[in-house]
Chain A
Amino acid sequence: MLAVYAVGAVLLLGAVRAADGGEGPRGPARRGRAAVAAGAGVHVLVGLLGGLLGAQPGFAGSLSGVALAIAVVVVALPARLGVVAAVLAPLATGLQGASLLAPERHVVALDALDATWWLPLHMTLVLGAVALFLLELSVGAVQVVVRGRLKRKQLGALQRMPSLDVLDRLQVRALVAGVACLGLGLVVGSAGAATQLEHAGLVTDPKVAISAGIWLWYVIVLQARVRRGWHGWWGVRMSAVGVLALLFSWVALEFVAGGFHAYG
C-alpha cells in the first residue's frame, strides 16, 4: 500500500513538470491518481479487515486514517488542480509510512466503554477534519506560490498552475468542511462518551479543550477570509497556526497529558 502511494506521489510530482499537466490518456497525472486510488482501495480493505478482527483504535491507526482521507481527496481533486494533488500525495505517503513506524498505543479509556456506535463516527469526522485542514494549508501554500509568480511576472511558469480564484474557492470549501467536521466530531465524541461516563470531566479534558480551541480558531480564520479578505500569506500563516495546534493535540498531547484520550 505504501509503495503504491509512493508511486502515485512520484508520478503526480512528475506530472507538474509535463507540458500538458500530465493529463494525456497515458499521462503521469492520470496514472498517478490511478495509483493513489488503488492504494486507497487496498487501504479501505485493510481497515475493514482490522475492524472485523477487533483492532483497537490507536495512534498508528489515526496516522493511517488521515493518510487515507488525504488519498481520497487526491483522487477526488479535478485535473486542473493537479499541482495540489502533487503536494498532498507525498503527504499521504509520509503519513502512511509514519503509521508503520509509530508505536502501537491505544486509548486506555476506551477499554471501559462500549464505543460501538459513536466511536467510528467520531474518529471519521475528526480525522477527516485533520485531512481537510491539511488540504486547506496545502492549497494556501500553492496560492502563495502562484501569487509570488504573478507579482514577479514569471509568466511562463504559470502555465500549468490553477488560477487564483479556483484555489481560493477550494481553500474556503476545505475550511468550511473542516470546521463542520471538527465541530460535529466534537459533538458526537462528547455525546457518545458522556452517556457512559459517570463524571462530567469532558470539559476539562485537555484534548477536548484544545480541540474546541482549534475549532474556534478556524472559525476566526474563516471569518477573516470572508469578511476581511485575508488571502495569501496572511491566510497561510493563520492556517499554519491551526495545523500546528492540531499536530500538537494529535501527536504530542495524548502521550504527555492525562484525560480520556491518553494512550496506555
Chain B
Amino acid sequence: MADLAAGAALSLVALGLSHHAAPVAVRERLAFDEDGVRAELSGLLGQGLAREALLLSTCNRVELYAVPQPGEEDHLRAHLGGLRVGGEPLSRYLYAHRGAAAVRHLFRVASSLDSLVVGEPQILGQVKEAVRVAASVGSLGAVLHRLTQRSLWVAKLVRTQTDIGRHTVGVGGAGVRLAHQLFASLDGRRALLVGAGEMGQEVAKAMVGSGLAELLVANRTLQRAVDLAQAFGGTPLPFDRIDDYLHRVDVVIVASGGGRFVVDRRQVAAALRLRRYRPLFLVDLSVPRAIDPEVDTLDEAFLFNVDHLVQVVEEGRQARVEASREAEAMVEVEAERFAQRLADLGANDALGALVRKVDALREVELARTTDVLDRLDPADRARVEAMMRAFQKRVLHGPLASLRAAARAGDADALARLLEAWELDR
C-alpha cells in the first residue's frame, strides 16, 4: 500500500535538551561534532527507529527532530533518554514535542526565540548546517524537508519583519552602536584602546569586527600592550605617546585603573584642533573614570561612560522583549498554518490511497460484467458507468471527510482506525 504520510506528519517529534534545563556540563558532553551527527542519524535510520531525522547540536542545545517508524516513538525516546553523560542518564533533562508543537518548537528555535540571547543570528546558520548534514546522510524526507525549509523561511521573516535582531545586548555591541551615531560606518576608522580592562577589550573587539582600519593599543605596561595588540591584530603604543596619536584616531576607548585622568580636556582640545574639528568619539569604561568629564564640553568631543553603555544595553534588551512578543505571534501563526498543511499533506496521501482502492474495486466489478455491458448501446453503458461513479462518490464522502477531519485534528488514532477499517494501513 502507498506510504501514507498522514501518520508520518502527525507523529513528527522533537526530542532534546537545551540551556533552559540542562547545565553546560551536560550539554558540552552530549554535543555532537559533524561526524557524530552523521553517525547518529545513520544509526537511527539503520536501526529502524526513524524514517526521517535531523539532529541539531549547538553549544546551547542538542535536539533531534524525527518522524519515527510506526510504533517506534517510545523506543526513539528511550534511545535518546538512555544516553548517559558522565554516568547520569539524560532523561531528566529531556523534553519532547509532538506534531504541531514540534513544528512550533523548530520555528521558535530557528527564529532565535528560544536562544540564550534572544535575537542572536548564529542559530539560523546552525540550523542550515544541520539541514545540510542531514540531507547529505539522506535522512530528510517529505516531512522534515518541508519543515526545515519552512523554518528557515519563518526565521528570515521574523528577522526582516521585526526588530528582534536590531537591538544590541552586549557592551561591545552597545559601544559600536553609539559610535554609529557619529560615524555611519567604522570602515577605515582608527581607534585607540588605553588600558587592559575587560569591558574595554570587549568594545575594541566589537569595533574591530565592525571594520576598524587600525587599532592602537596603549598600556602602562608595554608588554601588556604588545600582547593585547597581538590579540586584536593592532599596533602597540608606549603609554607616554598617547598625546602624539590622539588626533590621528576617531575613537578613543579607555579602560584603565589608577584613579587619575589618562585623557584630559587640554589634550582633547589640542587633538581636535589638529584634526580640524572632525568629531571624536570617546568611551570611558574605567571606574573611577579615566577621561576628564569636562572633555564632553568640547563641541566636537562626544564622551560616553560605562553608565551610558549600560543604558544602551538595557534599551536594547527592552526593545528585544517587545520585538520577541511580535515574533512569537508570527511564529504561532506560521506554525499553525504549516501544521495544517502538513496534516493536509498526510491526509491527501491517505485520501488518494482510499480513492485509488475504490477505483480499482469499481474497475474489477465492471470487468466482471463486461459481457452484459457490451450488449448495451454506448449511451446506456456511459449511464451505467456514471451511476457507479456517483455511487462511489456518495459512499466515500463520509470516510473522506472523517479522514480529513482526523488529520486536521491531529488525531492519529482515529486516522489509524479509519485506515485499518479500509485495510489501507499496511
Contact = CB atoms under 8 A, between A and B. Distances in A.
Interface of A: 19-20, 24, 80, 146, 150-151, 153, 155-156, 158, 161-166, 227-232
Contacts of A156: 315
Contacts of B312: 155
B183 A165 contact: yes
5 contacts: A155-B312, A163-B181, A165-B183, A166-B184, A228-B277
Nearest to B161: A24
A162 B182 CA distance: 9
Contacts of A158: 181
Contact of A231 (B183, B300, B304): B300
Contacts of B300: 229, 231-232
Given A151-B296, A155-B312, A164 B277 contact: no
Nearest to A149: B181
A155 B277 contact: no
A24 B326 CA distance: 15
B163 interface: yes
Interface of B: 161, 163, 178, 180-184, 276-279, 296, 299-300, 302, 304, 308, 311-312, 315
A151 B276 contact: no
Contacts of A151: 296, 302
A165 to B, nearest CB: 5
B412 to A, nearest CB: 40
Nearest to B299: A232
B163 A155 contact: no
A165 B279 contact: yes
Given A19-B163, A228-B276, 15 more contacts: A20-B163, A146-B181, A150-B182, A153-B308, A153-B311, A155-B311, A155-B312, A163-B183, A163-B184, A164-B181, A164-B279, A165-B184, A229-B276, A229-B278, A231-B299
Contact of B308 (A24, A155, A166): A155
B163 A164 contact: no
Nearest to B302: A150
Contacts of B315: 155-156
A168 to B, nearest CB: 8
Contacts of B308: 153, 155
Contacts of B183: 163-165
Contacts of A232: 299-300
A231 B278 CA distance: 9
Contact of B277 (A146, A150, A153, A229): A229
Contacts of A231: 277, 279, 299-300
B19 to A, nearest CB: 29
B295 to A, nearest CB: 12
A164 B302 CA distance: 11
A187 B178 CA distance: 46
Looking at A19, A146, A161, A230, which has the most chain B CB atoms within 10 Å of its CB?
A19
B178 A155 contact: yes
Contacts of B299: 231-232
A192 B119 CA distance: 63
Nearest to A234: B299
